[in-house]
């Protein structure tokens, strides 16, 4: 069903706002009501080829600009995003069914991220070494290790943060003097284009960015294997991340992938606090976050009490439409909802108890809590990316560590305990990028290093770390 606000959106290709030469486009509809929001150009490999060449060629002039000049444009970008946060937030809300307030705050968070990126970039320097560090070394050699841009960065964004997780790749890349090929998620592409419109309005030379909208099946592999691409930074599912790693060759990758973050609750934990954090961590944006809490490992002695407290909180969650600012909103598409439902059904068949939820209206799944989940159930190991939380009862903390580490994923984990020594001891044993003590799993604050191990990713993001990832060393040796 088309609406009066439906828009035909142009993309940034060959340094201009254009539709596809073929006239083809991809229709974007709202996940929650099926209304068409607009169309984005469905680009072909041929038209991308010419644009990528132009974007790659533009890099050298940009890389030679002073960091001050680059920073001024990025700061202006942040300012414009802040001015347009309601409009861009509306677009995010419509495209990915994120509640209105979170969609708007995603834009503000992005502006703040960009400003911090500019400031941090000023403080990143290379190093100088004298050549007498080895036996028989030569003190008359001085090595100047500078940081230079890698060249052209392919930034591939996810649907769940179409603005924030795109800008957190694009801003460091540009700040460090690179050019960018940006592939937004199809569902989220209009918001991604609005992000880049603000960037061009801030004064960025338009041929420095190509926005590769279109079908992943047509242009995805082509982009990943393109010889002009000097690095790939991607956020999305683990299967796609592995595919990218298989296809690409001899270029650096930063991959932010899936997770199965456990909340480990020990018998001495503050259960009120644990329940509050777990529910916020598991169900916000309907669990469609890589860092969502995706399983609870609780000691038997306190399991009943914790389940009761979590249930009270879950039953208080607002469920509905993003326009009404509901916390639990329809999932991104029917396929996702079907998958989550299949995990719930599998758990029920194998003996899990449905404490609350297990109700579905189209792709809106009510927040679901499953108790007595065991290791033979898929929900114990697979990532639902939806509003369902399994409770796994354990006897000793060692069992929690073993179950946590048996996962293919290793993004984050939470440990809830009033015994800090014990909590830290467990944290040391967990094979994850980050452990949160007595709080939910989450990426921010955004200047903290952010990484996953095993199937959860490769490389490190953050602000300093992202800036460092998009440069390489260039060494000049002065021989006196
Ligand atoms: O979905 C992956 C995001 O990096 C999660 O970010 O913890 O701020 O929701 P968040």
> For residue range 333-373, what is the model confidence (pLDDT) as tens digits?
999 999 999 999 999 999 999 999 999 999 999 999 999 99
pLDDT at 8: 80
Q: Report pLDDT digits (tens) over 213-266.
A: 999 999 999 999 999 999 999 999 999 999 999 999 899 999 999 999 999 999
Find, among 328, 363, 357, the residue nearest to 345 by Cα.
357
Cβ(173) to ligand 1 under 6 A?
Answer: no
Regarding whether 343 and 201 lie in a shared domain, the answer is: no
Query: Which CATH number do you get for residue 287?
Result: 3.40.309.10
392 and 473 inside one domain: no
Tell me how crowded residue 137 is: count the other CB atoms within 10 A of its CB.
11
Question: Is the Cβ atom of 99 under 6 angstroms away from ligand 1?
Answer: no
Pairwise CA distance, residues 175 & 337, whole Å: 39
Q: What are the b/e assignments for 409-429, b being 16+ CB within 10 Å?
A: bbbbbbbbbeeeeebeebbee
> Among 158, 159, 160, 413, which is best to mutate for testing ligand 1, by the most ligand atoms less than 8 A from CB?
160
Let me know if 83 is a catalytic residue. Answer: no
Give dist(CA 144, CA 150) in Å, integer.
Answer: 18
Could you tell me the CATH number of the domain that includes residue 230? Answer: 3.40.605.10
Tell whether 431 and 383 lie within a shared domain: yes
| Cβ–ligand 1 contact at 443 (below 6 Å) | yes
Atom of ligand 1 nearest to the CA of 444: 8
Contact status, residue 373 vs residue 347, Cβ threshold 8 Å: yes
Residues 244 and 359 placed together within one structural domain of the fold: no
pLDDT of 314? 98
Q: pLDDT by residue (tens digit) across 430-472?
A: 999 999 999 999 999 999 999 999 999 999 999 999 999 999 9
Query: Is the pLDDT at 323 greater than 80, yes or no?
Result: yes
Q: Whose CA is nearest to atom 8 of ligand 1?
A: 443
Set 47, 90, 106, 256: catalytic member = 256
Q: Is the model's pLDDT at 136 over the cut of 90?
A: no
Task: Report whether pLDDT(4) > 60.
Answer: no
Question: Rounded to the nearest whole angstrom, what is the distance from the C-alpha of residue 165 to the centroid of ligand 1?
Answer: 8
| Same-domain status, 418 and 475 | no
Q: Are the CB atoms for 264 and 426 separated by under 8 Å?
A: yes
Check whether residue 170 and residue 42 sit in a common domain: yes
pLDDT for 92 = 98
Claim to verify: residue 240 and residue 368 sit in the same structural domain: no
Same domain, yes or no: 225 and 311: no
On whether both 324 and 468 belong to a single domain, the answer is no
Cα separation, 167 vs 110, in Å, equals: 7
* Closest atom, ligand 1, to C-alpha of 284: 9
The residue whose CA has the least distance to atom 2 of ligand 1 is 290
Residue-level pLDDT at 269: 98
Query: Quick one: which atom of ligand 1 is closest to the CA of 442?
Result: 7
pTM of the predicted structure, to 2 decimals: 0.97
Residue 102 has pLDDT above 80, yes or no: yes
pLDDT tens track for 268-304: 999 999 999 999 999 999 999 999 999 999 999 999 9
pLDDT at 3 over 50: no
Q: Which atom of ligand 1 is nearest to the CA of 441?
A: 7
Check whether residue 352 and residue 432 sit in a common domain.
yes
Q: Range of 463's domain?
A: 2-257+458-479
**Total structural domains in the chain?**
2
Q: Grade residue 7 by pLDDT with cuts at 50, 70 and 90.
A: confident
Contact call for residues 129 and 143 (beta carbons, < 8 A):
yes
| Confidence at 6, pLDDT banded by 50, 70, 90 | low
pLDDT at 2 > cutoff 80: no
189, exposed or middle or buried, with CB in 10 Å at 0-12, 13-18, 19+?
buried
pLDDT above 90: percentage of residues in the chain:
97
CA of 289 to the centre of ligand 1 (A): 5
Tell me, yes or no, whether 286 and 157 share the same domain: no
CA–centroid distance, 447 to ligand 1, in Å, is 13
Residues 234 and 265 placed together within one structural domain of the fold: no
Residue 289 near ligand 1, beta carbon < 6 Å: yes
Q: Which sign, positive or negative, has the C-alpha torsion 141, 145, 151, 155?
A: positive
The average pLDDT across 15-20 equals 96
């Amino acid at each position: 069903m088309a609406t009066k606000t439906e828009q035909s959106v142009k993309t940034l290709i060959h340094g201009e706002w254009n539709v596809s030469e073929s006239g083809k486009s991809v229709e974007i509809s709202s996940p929650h009501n099926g209304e068409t929001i607009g169309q984005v150009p469905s680009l072909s490999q041929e038209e991308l080829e010419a644009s990528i060449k132009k974007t790659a060629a533009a890099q050298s002039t940009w890389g030679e600009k002073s960091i001050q000049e680059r920073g001024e444009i990025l700061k202006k970008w942040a300012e414009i995003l802040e001015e347009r946060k309601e409009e861009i937030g509306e677009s995010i809300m419509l495209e990915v069914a994120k509640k209105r307030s979170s969609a708007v705050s995603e834009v503000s968070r992005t502006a703040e991220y960009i400003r911090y990126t500019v400031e941090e970039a000023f403080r990143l320097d290379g190093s100088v070494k004298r050549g007498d560090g080895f036996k028989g070394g030569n003190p008359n050699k001085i090595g100047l290790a500078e940081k230079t841009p890698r060249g052209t960065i392919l930034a591939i964004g996810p649907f769940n943060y179409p603005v924030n997780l795109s800008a957190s790749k694009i801003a460091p890349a540009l700040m460090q003097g690179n050019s960018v090929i940006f592939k937004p998620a199809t569902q989220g592409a209009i918001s991604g284009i609005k992000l880049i419109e603000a960037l061009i309005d801030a004064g960025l030379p338009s041929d420095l960015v190509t926005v590769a909208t279109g079908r992943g099946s047509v242009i995805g592999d082509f982009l990943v294997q393109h010889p002009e691409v000097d690095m790939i930074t991607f956020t999305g599912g683990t299967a796609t991340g592995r595919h990218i790693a298989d296809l690409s060759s001899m270029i650096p990758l930063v991959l932010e992938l899936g997770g199965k973050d456990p909340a480990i609750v020990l018998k001495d934990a503050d259960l009120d606090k644990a329940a509050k954090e777990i529910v916020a961590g598991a169900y916000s944006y309907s669990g469609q976050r890589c860092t969502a809490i995706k399983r609870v490992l609780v000691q038997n002695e306190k399991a009943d009490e914790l389940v009761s407290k979590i249930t009270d909180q879950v039953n208080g969650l607002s469920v509905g439409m993003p326009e009404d600012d509901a916390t639990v909103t329809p999932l991104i598409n029917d396929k996702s909802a079907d998958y989550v439902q299949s995990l719930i059904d599998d758990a029920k068949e194998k003996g899990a108890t449905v404490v609350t939820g297990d109700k579905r209206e189209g792709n809106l799944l009510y927040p679901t809590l499953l108790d007595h989940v065991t290791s033979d159930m898929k929900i114990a190991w697979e990532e639902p990316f939806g509003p369902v939380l399994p409770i796994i009862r354990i006897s000793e903390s060692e069992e929690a560590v073993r179950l946590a580490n048996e996962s293919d994923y290793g993004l984050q984990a939470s440990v809830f305990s009033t015994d800090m020594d014990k909590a830290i001891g467990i944290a040391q044993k967990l094979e994850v990028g980050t452990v949160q003590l007595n709080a939910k799993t989450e990426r921010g604050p955004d200047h903290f290093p952010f990484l996953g191990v095993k199937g959860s990713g490769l490389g490190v993001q953050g602000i300093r770390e992202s800036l460092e990832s998009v440069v390489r060393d260039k060494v000049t040796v002065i021989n006196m």
